A and B are shown apart, each in its own frame.
Chain A
């Protein structure tokens, strides 16, 4: 079975290579290979770089390209657009703009399909995943992740009028729980015995609960705070039950993901420490109501 799959993939691949070979020849000139002075001195470094990583400096690559591509999903309050506006704003978006400026490059926000974030990074269609990404084993196995910059935990969201049934639960057995496919919330819900209903995005889980298709949802507390309760589209939903606590786990941390072995991680950590020190982080976090969640150490 695996062989057949590999064969088919190889055939598709050869097809696609043939296709782009014809189409995109001029594009290759933009690639950093060889013509960048920084790369010619790289061999000494390359031994230290993990397998799967590039032998060249990622910072140099991004600077040669002139643009930092930031992979995001539409996720308030981290990356979102205001009504009638075409500009990406939010805590992550604003910080990303500042980071790009520190590198001396432009920033482009690219909406991605969350399931393909690693492929997006590795194929260099984006340079980082910066979208309230919870640091877990899967993430650290596939990407180079920055120091944590924000805390988070998973919460259970349910209809407010059924609050009595849900508060204080220690097991989710027998419940249909909507989660974002591949998210930390999915792991947490499964660990507590829920029958999970994976959907495309965290916000879609709220639709599931609102429409009665699922009993409850597990999402990030930041998102739950932003999107449920009075003054939101989901006024009838409430949340409680810290699932991290219920499992006896520490809170989660948000981090920014880069390609494996990328030196953009160091550049980011340096930038962030600087931004914490000069108060930029707290200022922007306060704008989006995240002053309690952001890590200022």
Chain B
């Protein structure tokens, strides 16, 4: 066993897998850091109640003394920001991530005059994949956040209001922590899915850990026809998701001191 791990072939393979897994981790953390705030913005967008046509429609109805029919009702509940956000949620959640990665990386370069807007080389691929992942996960997160925010009883917000707090103070001092407590379990699911989804990035040849492992099946650095490196990547994924589970478990425990 020790001999196996000390052999130069194994060393070469493990080095390549380590390098690949670092790419996997970079993608993972960049996605988390980008998708959480963006998801929050989208969550607020999809809860936005701005209805610019409601007042004029009501005014017109009152002036003419008419009861609202279906068209007027549609105008009253027309909420453009909410509509756009929910439409985007549908599109992003309804199409495969792999398709989004390919579209984001190739399509702009194919239709724009100056060629790809992404930096060329490995860096550009990484950037494109990060953007695809951040967008995709932000929309998934936004629905979780929305559930979390809407799950906080309205009375909490009203209590804040009558105590003279601003909307921002209410969100950060009152709602946020209660929301966090509610969303930790569903977020844990998504985050562990994210760890595994990073492997989709090899669709545009990002050299993550699965790509690195597969290279030893077809031939890389004089080593070919080996399938164990591919299976061995499971060890990386399992170890990492164990850490993620542990960290999120701690967070859950830390929030145990109060009930919502």
Please report the C-alpha to C-alpha distance between residue A206 and residue B218 in the assembled complex, in whole angstroms: 8
Say how far B95's CB is from chain A's closest CB, in angstroms. 6
Q: Tell me, yes or no, whether A110 is within 8 Å of chain B by CB.
A: yes
**With contact pairs A20-B131, A84-B221, A233-B225 given, residues A32 and B114 touching in the complex (Cβ less than 8 Å):** yes
Interface pair A122/B110, CB less than 8 Å apart: yes
Interface pair A28/B205, CB less than 8 Å apart: no
Cβ contacts A113-130/B at 8 Å (1 or 0 each): 100100110111110000
Q: Tell me, yes or no, whether B151 is within 8 Å of chain A by CB.
A: no
Please report the C-alpha to C-alpha distance between residue A203 and residue B219 in the assembled complex, in whole angstroms: 7
Interface pair A125/B105, CB less than 8 Å apart: yes
Set A13, A16, A207: member contacting B217, Cβ < 8 A: A207
Please report the C-alpha to C-alpha distance between residue A111 and residue B105 in the assembled complex, in whole angstroms: 15
* Interface residues of B, count at CB 8 A: 53
Which residue of chain B is the closest to A31 with respect to CB atoms? B114
Say how far A142's CB is from chain B's closest CB, in angstroms. 12
Within 8 A of B (CB), among A45-60: 54
Within 8 A of A (CB), among B171-192: none
Q: Tell me, yes or no, whether B224 is within 8 Å of chain A by CB.
A: yes
* Selected interface stretch from A75-83, A145-153, A182-190, A240-248: A75-83
Interface pair A20/B121, CB less than 8 Å apart: no
Please report the C-alpha to C-alpha distance between residue A200 and residue B214 in the assembled complex, in whole angstroms: 10
Interface pair A227/B114, CB less than 8 Å apart: no
Say how far B27's CB is from chain A's closest CB, in angstroms. 16
Interface pair A11/B109, CB less than 8 Å apart: no
Interface centre among B102, B119, B221 (most CB of A within 10 A): B221
Which residue of chain B is the closest to A17 with respect to CB atoms? B108
Please report the C-alpha to C-alpha distance between residue A122 and residue B110 in the assembled complex, in whole angstroms: 6
Q: Tell me, yes or no, whether A201 is within 8 Å of chain B by CB.
A: yes
Which residue of chain B is the closest to A16 with respect to CB atoms? B104
Please report the C-alpha to C-alpha distance between residue A129 and residue B108 in the assembled complex, in whole angstroms: 20
Complex contacts, B225 vs chain A, CB 8 Å: 206-207, 210, 233-234
Interface pair B117/A24, CB less than 8 Å apart: yes
Q: Tell me, yes or no, whether A164 is within 8 Å of chain B by CB.
A: no
Within 8 A of B (CB), among A79-119: 80-85, 108, 110-113, 116, 119
Interface pair A112/B205, CB less than 8 Å apart: yes
Identify 17 new A-B residue pairs, CB closer than 8 A, beyond the known A9-B107, A20-B131: A12-B95, A13-B108, A15-B104, A19-B104, A24-B117, A69-B120, A74-B215, A85-B221, A108-B120, A112-B205, A123-B106, A124-B120, A200-B218, A203-B219, A204-B217, A207-B217, A233-B224
10 closest pairs, A vs B, by CB? A123-B109, A124-B115, A203-B218, A31-B114, A16-B104, A233-B225, A12-B103, A83-B222, A201-B218, A119-B106
- 19 CB-based A-B contacts, threshold 8 Å: A9-B103, A13-B107, A15-B100, A16-B131, A20-B128, A74-B218, A84-B12, A108-B121, A116-B102, A119-B110, A123-B108, A123-B109, A124-B115, A200-B214, A204-B218, A207-B225, A227-B219, A233-B224, A234-B224
Could you list which residues of chain A lie within 8 angstroms of chain B, going by C-beta atoms? 8-9, 11-13, 15-17, 19-21, 23-24, 27-28, 31-33, 54, 61, 65, 67, 69, 74-76, 80-85, 108, 110-113, 116, 119-120, 122-126, 200-204, 206-207, 210, 227, 233-234
